[in-house]
Structures are given as structure tokens and as C-alpha cells.
């Protein structure tokens, strides 16, 4: 069992080459040995890259045990001017 204090949903989906996929299904796509797999019981999902932000329509698809934070990664700070 695991609680991830923070993970980047947009980057995870981008790395998996999927635009929209439920987080629990996305976690199953990860490659891990059976003894390394955990059951995610909660976390804070962070969207930090403007080009891959979710649309408001996609937000309800997130699990209720995952909080959402939207921010701007420092490497994109010039976009906020």
C-alpha cells in the first residue's frame, strides 16, 4: 500500500503516450517487478506543464483519493509573463 505525496499526472501521461487515462489504469502501465508493485491509496496529483494541463472535463475522471494541484514548473516561468 502506498500514498504518493506528489506525482506529475501530466508528465506521467505524456511519458505513457496517452492524452487521457484514469490514474489507476495509468499506474498499471508502469513496468515494475511483482514484488515492487504497490496499491496506491492516495496522493497529490500535480499538473505543472501548461502544454499538458488537463481540461476541466477531464478532472472528474481523477480518483477521489487523489488531490489536484495546478502549478507552473520553473522552467516554464517565462510563459507567465
* pLDDT digits 0-9 by tens, 1-45: 555 566 777 777 788 888 777 777 777 777 777 787 777 778 887
pTM above 0.75, yes or no: no
- Least Cα distance to 4 among 27, 32, 25 occurs for 27
Residue 49 lies in domain: 2-29+38-72
- Least Cα distance to 66 among 39, 37, 41, 47 occurs for 41
Grid cell, residue 65, equals 483519493
Residue 22 located in a structural domain: yes
Query: Is 45 in contact with 67 (CB distance < 8 Å)?
Result: yes
Residue 10 located in a structural domain: yes
Residue 77 located in a structural domain: no
DSSP code for 39: -
Grid cell, residue 47, equals 499538473
Residue 81 located in a structural domain: no
* pLDDT digits 0-9 by tens, 40-80: 778 887 777 777 776 676 666 677 888 877 777 777 777 65
Amino acid at each position: 500500500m502506498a500514498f504518493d505525496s506528489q506525482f506529475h499526472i501530466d508528465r506521467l501521461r505524456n511519458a505513457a503516450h496517452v492524452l487521457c487515462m484514469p490514474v489507476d489504469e495509468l499506474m498499471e502501465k508502469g513496468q515494475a517487478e511483482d514484488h515492487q508493485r504497490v496499491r496506491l491509496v492516495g496522493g497529490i496529483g500535480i499538473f505543472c506543464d501548461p502544454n499538458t494541463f488537463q481540461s476541466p472535463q477531464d478532472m472528474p475522471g481523477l480518483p477521489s483519493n487523489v488531490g489536484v494541484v495546478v502549478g507552473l514548473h520553473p522552467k516554464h516561468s517565462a510563459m507567465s509573463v
